[in-house]
Structure 1
Amino acid sequence: MARAATNRLDIKDGAMRRQPRLSLRDQAYQVIKSKIVSCELKPGEAVTVTDLADALGIGRTPVIQAVDRLMIDGLVEVMPRKGVVVSPVSLDELVELIEVRQINEARVSRWAAERIQDKQVKELRDNLDRMLKATQKRELGQLIALDRAFHQAIALTAGNSIMTELLGNLHDRAVRFWTLSLNVPDQNSRVCDQHAEIIEKLAAHDPDGAEQAMLSHINAFKANLFDTLMKS
């Protein structure tokens, strides 16, 4: 079991010590969370605290503390005789995330269309160019990172720091769904097309168009995920 966990986490000796500014607890939290949201630790998968500690090369105490934080995030559960279980994804959770995104990201897109500058438009187009290249190479991890960066950039452009923080937390919870969505054949190309439409509406300073383009993007994400989860 310990060997399998080490392979899944793919952490080399000393990896935990390359971030001296963070406590062991915080380092453990970041690494385990990354593996969960990227689906390297799959929904429903069980590991033990000992497995995780061995893979990270640290003691059990910071791992236990990290697991406590992940429980608060809703990403893991601790179950008798199973250990640490990665929380499953569900249609109910997806619906709730979509509802929050529809309300908040639509509003953010309107603000961004009103306030965006040429430099920010260029940054979004550069992001899209990198997404297109990652799509051609089927670099899923890069696609997920760029997709999240795209939405974060729009939130920053809107100029509301509280909303940016709220959406950042929301996107953390949605990354597992993004992973499942972007694994669907041809979905990556569709996402790039949707991002291109959003950028054009933002660049034209068209709040109504930007809002509608974002809603269409979110609704397409919802439809793709519902279809994927229903088939799984």
Structure 2
Amino acid sequence: MSSSISTILIIGGTSGIGEAFAQRFHSMGKKVIITGRRQERLKELESQMESVKSYVMDNTDLSALPSHVEHLTKTFPDIDTVWVNSGIQEAFKFDDPTSSSDSKILNEINTNVSAPMLLARHFIPFLLKSGKEGNFMITTSGLAFVPVGAFPIYCPTKAFVHHFLVGLRQQMAGTNVNVIEIAPPRVETDLDAAHKEISNTPAMSLDEYTAKTFEVLDNNKASELKEVAVGFADMGAKAWRQSIGGLLEAMKIGG
């Protein structure tokens, strides 16, 4: 897949997996554009990676997303790959109302579900119109396939996005746009560090995760990829493909 990418926009590329992928794509000579909420951090990454471009963008401001997409596509008309990587993971208990709030729940849903849906609505026509091979990617999680009670909103939001990508892939069949799901296992990032005491499973190092994911990306055509998952996430993705995915194939729906 990597060979099919010339210019990649990473939405949520200032830390963790997004930053690691930005650095990897940059080292491969790709044109990389990253977005994030922290302007200082974006400028710092620009100084570290020559030629990388950045853009300040807050995915939680849903009403502003269409104008952000319009600006990005006009400023960088050669974008061929859009990767929505930003996300929020909250841990709380429904039997303890003080452990969360209505606004936190809505913010997690909007960040993990509403924003990616709106971004897809505005980026997909742009990628289709380009006429060249394009890729639309969203980061989900191994928890999209195996729900864990400690994260009662995060897990279903990632399952929602997984199902959305399957349906979007059905719609994009026969077009120039590939729809790819990036499904990480538990990885040592800032997101994981905030909940380290909750999980009793070991986290994969960010370097190992990046290397294993790029092993898949580098050795497979983008048009042949669906869920790019490693470790625990790969187990969940394969279980889904062997069950519901198999049913879709038998129905000749695909996705």
The structure where helix makes up a greater share of residues is 1
The structure where strand makes up a greater share of residues is 2
